[in-house]
Amino acid sequence: MTSPSFLAIDLGAESGRGILGKLDKRLTLEEVHRFPNGPVRIGDHLHWDILRIWNEVQACLRLAAAQPDISLASTGLDTWGVDFGLLDAANRLIGNPYHYRDSRTDGMIEAACKIVPRERIYAQTGIQFMQLNTLFQLFAMRQQKDPALDIARTFLTTPDLLNFWLTGCKGNEFTISTTTQCFDVRNHAWARELLAALDIPAAIFQNIIQPGSILGELLPWIADEASSKAIPVVAVGCHDTASAVAAVPAQDPDFIYISSGTWSLIGIEAGKPIINDDSLRFNLTNEGGVGGKTRFLKNIMGMWLLQECRREWNRAGKAYSYDDLTTLANSAKPLRSIILVNDARFLTPGNMVARIQEFCRETRQEIPQAEGEIMRCILESLALEYRWNTEKLRLLSSKALPVIHIIGGGSRNHLLNQFSADATGCRVIAGPVEATAIGNILMQAIALGYLSNLAEARALVVQSFNLALFEPGDSSPWEAAYQQYLQLRREEA
């Protein structure tokens, strides 16, 4: 009998991919399609090219179905958080969805908090304040009198929209819904009082669908065009971090994870939301996880800074690979310049090298010049940011948390992995790289009964993939750098 295979369609902010997972005694992966992704500028605004993304989703299905000796059991789709599409009364998409880095949300946190105090918003949603959050995108539409909000009858996050086009099933999957800051995480319902106060129409939000639910089968025309049978579509952890955390190869419940990609998401699994004065003060977030867990975490600008610098150098004719840049960083002098990676100036695309240099100039530090110096500055600053958040996670969970699991594409950066161990004093276990796709596949297998629960799924990850261990080294240089980092935070505040 042919072993079952599951197609993970994993859409990230920089690239998308279709990955087949074959489940036998181990889980094996095969990439069938990969494509670039990113914002499209129209005038002063950034959008997603959602129809091209939809075309690539269909290509993933078509290429997976064409693989020889494959018995495709199901498919599931995950994406980045917070972005969305609005449908009219005839279920037609209203306009091109905006990209979360679009500037229309500038100043919207402050404007919204004049209507509903920050403490009340956080008490309901438990979500970290970031101007890119869905709540502030919708509030910006109302403030700017965008007619789309009056026309809209249905709100669908990006994976919900694509799942609707795949199956005809409209709903809001739980893990992605919690990223919006429109969701009451304590009561597991939309935060209707908050939405009403900000004049956002609560009626457009859909019923909540739990991760691991089967949405339905591929629509007949999609199955025909993909030369596929009408396989089930599973609502996996539709937020990519939820799927990634499902694949953490943890054998002890007390661990920190860092889902390392365009964003670095550092957090723990909690049994329930942690919402108090300290979690608000530290701007930590409570997002829905799989298996009834809460992802208590902090969103940090991660490999985005590196990606933007690399794009800039490539446009100038310096075609560096990520490995090239890591090698250059390794050769640069250590701990000369530190940035606060979540500084607002680093949010939008373009001129990242100059912005990093500007930060160092303003804070009276040595200004990095060479590519290796810039890269080392980014990687060391990320490690120090990890240290700060590790301390806050320990404080708020009352747990020792001695191990950090780094998963996702960023786990391939051995230099950052070692810096993270050195800066935090934690043992770092790196891998698997394709954690999001793996978690997506595991949730499909659980939904269809091939795996019984999350514990069994994680044990399978340990059996199936090579992991790298990084022990902390000499901490004394990092202690001095951390004091400098803390001073920068004090000055920013």
Pair (46, 74) in one structural domain? yes
Question: Mean of the pLDDT values across residues 3-8?
Answer: 95
Q: Quick one: pLDDT at residue 57?
A: 98
Supply the pLDDT for residue 327.
97
Position 443 in a domain: no
How far apart, in whole angstroms, are the C-alpha atoms of residue 39 and residue 341? 21
* Positions marked active-site: 240
Residues 213 and 290 in one domain: no
| Structural domain includes residue 397 | yes
Whether residue 469 is contained in a domain is answered as: yes
In a domain, 212, yes or no: yes
Give residue-wise pLDDT tens across range 236-263.
999 999 999 999 999 888 999 999 999 9
Number of structural domains in the chain:
2
440: in domain: no
pLDDT band at 82 (very low <50, low <70, confident <90, very high): very high
Query: Does the pLDDT at position 174 exceed 70?
Result: yes
Q: What is the pLDDT of residue 493?
A: 78
Q: 333 with 458, same domain?
A: yes
Statement: residue 96 has pLDDT above 60: yes
Burial of 261 (0-12, 13-18, 19+ CB in 10 A): buried
Quote the pLDDT of residue 252: 85
Q: Are residues 348 and 397 in the same domain?
A: yes
Instruction: Give CA separation, 437 vs 79, 196, 269, 279, in Å.
Output: 11, 37, 19, 30
Residue 202, domain CATH: 3.30.420.40
Residue 467 lies in a domain: yes
Contacts of 91 (CB under 8 A, 6+ apart): 154, 164, 170
Structural domain of residue 394, as residue ranges?
248-431+452-493
Q: What is the mean pLDDT of the chain?
A: 97
Q: Is the pLDDT of residue 1 over 70?
A: no
pLDDT of residue 69: 86
Residues 122 and 217 placed together within one structural domain of the fold: yes
Q: Are residues 209 and 143 in the same domain?
A: yes
Task: Looking at the structure, tell me whether residues 202 and 252 fall in a common domain.
Answer: no
Looking at the structure, do residues 34 and 69 belong to the same domain, yes or no?
Answer: yes
**What pLDDT band is residue 460 in, cutting at 50, 70 and 90?**
very high
Do 226 and 257 lie in one domain? The reply is no
Give me the mean pLDDT over the 316-341 stretch: 97
Kindly state whether residues 218 and 289 are assigned to the same domain: no
pLDDT of residue 30 exceeding 80: yes
Burial 401-425 (b: 16+ CB within 10 A, else e): bebbbbbbbbbbbebbbbbbbbbbe
In a domain, residue 447? The reply is no
pLDDT digits (tens, 9 = 90+) for 123-145: 999 999 999 999 999 999 999 99
Single-letter residue type at 407: I
Pick from 165, 200, 235: which residue ends a domain?
Answer: 235
Three-state SS for 421?
A: helix
pLDDT at 492: 87
217 pLDDT above the threshold of 70? yes
| Residue 189 and residue 55 share a domain | yes
* Residues 469 and 345 grouped into a single domain: yes
Q: What percent of the chain has pLDDT over 70?
A: 100
Given a cut of 90, is residue 2 above it in pLDDT?
Answer: no
